[in-house]
Amino acid sequence: MQVLLGVLFHSIGGFASGSFYMPYNKVKQWSWETYWLLGGLFSWLIVPPLAAYLTIPGFVEILSAASGQILGLVYFLGLMWGIGGLMYGLGVRYLGMSLGNSVILSVTAAFGALVPPIYYDIMDVAGKETFTDMVNSTGGLVVLGGVAVCLTGIALTGKAGLLKEKELTDEQKSASVKEFALVKGLIIAVFSGVLSAFFNYGIEAGKTLSAQAALIPDQLFEGSSRLFANNVTFVVILWGGLTTNLIWCFFLSLKNRSYKEYVSKKTPLLRNYLFSALAGTLWFLQFFFYGMGESKLGNGASSWILHTSTIILTANLWGIYNKEWKGTSRKTVSTITVGIALILVSVIVVGIGNSLT
């Protein structure tokens, strides 16, 4: 039952993340930096502490009592993740929902699953599964096999993007993805995927914070706050993300003089504010439910890959809805389909491997 709840929570979180960019498509006559920053304020600054306040009584006291070293490390990892999150927005902008999410999140899944055990191996951390443990166990080898399958899926989705680039005219590409640019988009997407995995490292680094939160009776359900314990850690990680995105969006706003759009009556202000706020809130819900799923399954390879792969599936369904692959050949459609299928198979393989450890 606990495993099924974990899968359900991760699936809800994945759906939220795979869908969050859709409201941005409803924003009209605003520059990218304008709506990205407004939505981000809800994602990183407004909603996270509100969620922590509602689920973890005294979360401010937990942060106040934490060591500066832990807070600094979690914040730094959030800062690095913030760069990846910033590049995520650009990756989807240039590749579209389907291809952009497939590449970015597949790389994130692989790095997020493998780097922590490698780190534990190098640092000889007690009580944690190391890369050596994985190599020397049947379950660990199955997990590594799943990661290999995931990387194969990444390669195929990238190939599908190359085929799409050759087959469609510029007019056809822009009909579904207004600023489609394959090479630029793929470079950004790969870097985004690597850096986005730092969110998982931040969760690991903040385990002492979530452990303290788990001891406090929650306000929504009877018992401990273990279900929501990660909400405290998320607040600190997202401070880092806020810093990165705030600096970059301010720079673009000043450079492009787009800051005027926030009050321009020539744009549908109410509509744009509402959809940007919805996108930002929807984005945070991915980690709200990730924390709930992690409390049931643990923050191992299975949790991270299950989360990211659900996002990939959702984003590709939205990609089909947006007709991003319309006009491509049967070969291209088959290639992207097989790539996505392999990514989903990798989730099952990693889950099986995790159950064997």
Q: Is the pLDDT of residue 46 over 90?
A: yes
Token pair 């299975």 in the structure block, residue = 302
> What span, in angstroms and rounded, lies between the C-alpha atoms of 354 and 294?
13
pLDDT at residue 328 greater than cutoff 70: yes
Q: What is the token pair recorded at 44?
A: 């990183």
d(CA 293, CA 312): 17
Tokens of 86: 């910033």
Q: What percent of the chain has pLDDT over 90?
A: 30
Question: 125 Cβ partners below 8 Å, 6+ apart?
Answer: 119
Please tell me the total count of domains within the chain: 1
Backbone angles phi, psi at 317, to 5 degrees: -65, -40
Place of tokens 């970015």: 104
- The residue ranges of DSSP E strands in the chain, in sequence order, are none
| Separation between Cα atoms, residue 33 and residue 126, nearest integer Å | 44
Task: Kindly indicate the confidence band of residue 143, based on its pLDDT and cuts at 50, 70 and 90.
Answer: confident
Cβ proximity of 231 and 56 under 8 Å: yes
Q: How confident is the model at residue 14 (pLDDT cuts 50, 70, 90)?
A: confident
pLDDT digits (tens, 9 = 90+) for 150-181: 778 877 877 887 787 677 666 655 555 566 77
Going by the DSSP 8-state scheme, the letter that residue 268 receives in this structure is: -
- pTM for this model (two decimals): 0.76
Q: What is the pLDDT of residue 23?
A: 92
- Domain hosting 341: range is 2-356
Q: Decide: 142 and 353 in contact? Cβ < 8 Å.
A: yes
Query: What tens digit of pLDDT does each residue of 255-267 get?
Result: 999 999 999 999 9
Q: Rounded to an integer, what distance in angstroms lies between the CA atom of residue 171 and that of residue 311?
A: 28
pLDDT at position 267: 94
Lowest mean pLDDT among 61-65, 128-132, 265-269: 128-132
Where b means 16+ CB within 10 Å and e means fewer, 254-281 reads eeeebbebbeeeebbeeebbebbbbbbb
- Asked whether residue 307 carries a pLDDT value surpassing 80, the answer given is no
- Token pair listed for 8: 């359900």
Smallest Cα–Cα separation from 43: which of 72, 6, 86? 86
Q: Region 306-319: what's the mean pLDDT?
A: 75
Note the pLDDT tens digit of each residue in 85-99. 888 777 877 777 667
Taking the C-alpha atoms of residue 280 and residue 158, their distance in angstroms, rounded to an integer, is: 28
pLDDT value for 34: 95
Q: Which of 23-32, 52-61, 107-116, 332-341 has the lowest mean pLDDT?
A: 107-116
- Please state, rounded to an integer, the average pLDDT across all residues of the chain: 82
Tokens of 74: 């979690």
The band of 214, judged by pLDDT with boundaries at 50, 70 and 90, is confident
pLDDT of residue 189 exceeding 90: no
CB 190 within 8 A of CB 103: yes
Average pLDDT, integer, range 26-34: 93
Beta bridge partners of 217: 224
Q: Are 9 and 296 in contact (CB under 8 A)?
A: yes
